[in-house]
Amino acid sequence: MPQNSSIFAIVNRIKMKTASFAIVCLGLFPMLLKAQDGITFEDDFNLWNIEKGQTASVFVEKAYIRSGPGLNMKVVDSLTLGKNITIASAPFKGNTIKNFYAPWYQISYHSDGQLKQGFIWLGLLALGKQTDKDGLQYLFGFDRVIKQQNEEQEDHYLTTVKLLDAQDSLITSQSYPFVFSGQLSSQSKLLPAMGLNNVKQILRMEFLSAAYGVPTEYNYMAWTGQKLINLPSRYSVSDAGVFYYDEKILFPSEHKRNNQLIYKYIEEGEAKEDDTLDPEYRISKREEHFQWDGDKFVKLTLSK
């Protein structure tokens, strides 16, 4: 995971430079206290951003519906991948399943022509869904947490995009790692091909932050009509006038230079002096170029 390894390095660098500042801020952002183990979401504040009355989609092949909020409650029904449900309650105390903790919700749904109710574990629902004009459905969510044995790497969520047809049948899926570091929300957007050959659409998945030292991350996945392909990702992170790191990506339809190149522009700034209200930064910039051949991308070696 070369891209994620670089994220680990940047975030760890910020943690080392701003340890005293972080101690103060932790009281303001309770999610960050639990982000250190990488396996826990708050009951009432998490990346699903789900509230009573909202709809969501089942993200697993079979989701068991229970009579109450807990694994010890009776299974009363099951729902299949892509099934839409409506949230009918505030969150209930959760359970750890698939190596991460999430709350339970009461839900309502239609089955066999009847309106039914039950309880579902939040981790069985998609983080988001986008549907195109032909009825193709792009669901993304967490499969499970992968725990690392190597201390130099961090536990991460195996994040998956599942492509369904209009009848909720699975066409294909593709995964990538996501390290939860206290991000406050998630969302997705369906983009056009952005000038890439042999691409039908691109799904952009966003993990957003409003806290110092917590990265905002954007992941892109292309649908070629035959398979889903991970594209280069980007992220940004900063910390209170001490340090910032920012990546921007331009696709062919945006840069209009070479129709099969993806450009990533990277800017990094480090304050020359600490504890100033208007810091002056030492700024460095660099680029990364990725060649797209209609089936995969390759990072190019740039001459200095």
Is residue 118 a part of any domain in this protein?
Answer: yes
Amino acid at position 292, single letter: W
Judge if 176 and 209 occupy the same domain: yes
Print the domain residue range for 104.
Answer: 52-126
| Amino acid 105: pLDDT | 98
The answer to whether residue 80 is domain-embedded is yes
In a domain, 26, yes or no: yes
Residues 118, 133 within the same domain: no
Please report, as a single letter, which amino acid is at residue 298: V
Judge if 171 and 232 occupy the same domain.
yes
Helix axes 19-26, 2-17, angle to 10 degrees: 90
260: helix, strand or coil: coil
- What does the pLDDT read at residue 41? 76
Comparing CA positions, the residue from 203, 204, 172, 239 lying closest to residue 20 is: 239
- Average of per-residue pLDDT across 59-70: 98
- The yes-or-no verdict on residue 125 having pLDDT over 90 is yes
pLDDT value at residue 15: 43
- Domain presence at residue 271: yes
Using the 3D structure, point to which of 126, 147, 172 is the last residue of a domain: 126
Residue 303 inside a domain? The answer is no
Chosen domain end from 82, 102, 126: 126
Mean pLDDT, the chain, whole residue set: 86
Q: Mark whether 229 and 260 lie in a shared domain.
A: yes
Residues 103 and 222 grouped into a single domain:
no
pTM: 0.86
Give the C-alpha distances (Å, rounded to integers) separating 169 from 46, 108, 176, 205. Answer: 28, 22, 22, 22
Instruction: Clarify whether residues 59 and 41 are in a common domain.
Output: no
Q: What does residue 125 show for φ and ψ, rounded to 5 degrees?
A: -105, 150
Count of domains for the chain: 2
Residue 304 included in any domain:
no
Torsion angle in degrees (nearest 10) through CA of 143, 148, 152, 156: 10
SS (H, E, C) 153-191: CCCEEEEEEEEECCCCCEEEEEEEEECCCCCCEEEEEEE
Residues 71 and 173 in one domain: no
Tens-digit pLDDT profile for residues 161-189: 999 999 999 999 999 999 988 898 999 99
Is 15 in the same domain as 57? no
Tokens for 240, please give them.
């209170």
Please tell me whether residues 34 and 57 are part of one structural domain. Answer: no
What is the rounded distance in angstroms from the CA atom of residue 290 to the CA atom of residue 304?
16
Do 246 and 101 sit in the same domain of this protein? no
162: CB partners within 8 A, 6+ apart: 59, 81, 138, 139, 140, 141, 170, 173
Say yes or no to pLDDT of 37 above 80.
no
Last-in-domain residue among 79, 101, 126: 126
More confident residue, 200 or 4: 200
Q: Let me know if residue 158 belongs to a domain.
A: yes
pLDDT digits (tens, 9 = 90+) for 73-93: 999 999 999 999 999 999 999
Q: What would the pLDDT profile of 253-281 be if each residue is shown by its tens digit?
A: 999 987 799 999 999 998 887 656 677 88
Tell me: pLDDT of 150 over 90: no
On whether both 14 and 82 belong to a single domain, the answer is: no
